[in-house]
Amino acid sequence: MYLPKRFIDLAARLGGLPGIGPKAADRLVFYLLDQSEEDVQELADALVAARKEIRFCRQCGNFTQDDLCEVCQDVSRETQLLCVVEEIRDLAAIERTGAYHGLYYVLHGRIDPIARVGPAELQLNLLTERVVAGHIREVIIATNPNFNGDITAMYIAKLLMPMGVRVTRIATGIPKGSDLEFADMFTLTQALEKRTDVET
C-alpha cells in the first residue's frame, strides 16, 4: 500500500457516492489535496450546512431552507394547478423545462408491490388534504411511465376524482419504462402539454 490511510478512507467515502467509481474517487482526492486548506474547509462547511439547513417544504415536499420552498412562495404561480411527482429530482426535471407554472406535490416514493410499499406508506391523506386546502382544480399526475408509476397514478386518480377535481396524466411521449428525470426538455414539455384526463 503506497497511499496513507486518510487518502484511502476519503477515496472510499467519495467512491460510495452515486455516479462516482473508484477511479473518479481517487482523482477527486488528488484534486482536493492540491487545493488550499481554506478551500477544502469551505467545501466541508458547505456540505455540513446543506445537510443541516435543507429540509422538506411543509406544503409540497420540495427542498427548502425555510418553512415553504421557493415554488410555494412564488406568487406568480397558478395555485390551483398541482403536479404530483415521485421524487424531488422529477420536480427539478419539470422546472428545467420552464413549461409548467403550477405547484407541486412530491410523494417521496411510489406504490411498489414488490418492495411492499402501499398507499399507506405514501401518506396519501396528506395529498387529499392539500387538494382540499389548496382549492386545487386540476391535479396532473407525473409519476414515472413504468409499472409502479402507472399503478400509483391510477390509485391517486381513483382517490381524487370523487372529490370533484380534474385529474390528468402526462402524455406518454416519454418512452415507457423510463424515468422522467432523464427525459429531454422537449419531450417532457410535450408530455405536460399533451396531458390527458385519467379515466378510471
| Residues at the contact surface with Zn ion, assessed by CB under 5 A | 57, 59-60, 62, 69, 72
Closer by beta carbon to Zn ion, 11 or else 103 = 103
Alpha carbons within 13 angstroms on the beta-carbon side of residue 17 total 10
Cα–Cα distance for residue pair 99/111, rounded to 1 Å? 27
Min. distance of Cβ 137 from Zn ion in angstroms?
Answer: 18
Min. distance of Cβ 98 from Zn ion in angstroms?
Answer: 18
Closer by beta carbon to Zn ion, 72 or else 198 = 72
Cα–Cα distance for residue pair 111/149, rounded to 1 Å? 7
Closer by beta carbon to Zn ion, 59 or else 189 = 59
Closer by beta carbon to Zn ion, 14 or else 60 = 60
Min. distance of Cβ 88 from Zn ion in angstroms?
Answer: 10
Q: Which residues does residue 139 pair with via DSSP β-bridges, in sequence order? A: 82, 167
Alpha carbons within 13 angstroms on the beta-carbon side of residue 142 total 36
Closer by beta carbon to Zn ion, 95 or else 121 = 95
Number of H helices, E strands in the chain: 8, 7
Min. distance of Cβ 161 from Zn ion in angstroms?
Answer: 24
In angstroms, the Cα distances linking 122 to 20, 66, 74, 85, 151 are: 30, 23, 26, 12, 13
Min. distance of Cβ 56 from Zn ion in angstroms?
Answer: 8
Which cell goes with 118? Answer: 402501499
CB atoms within 10 A of CB 49: 11
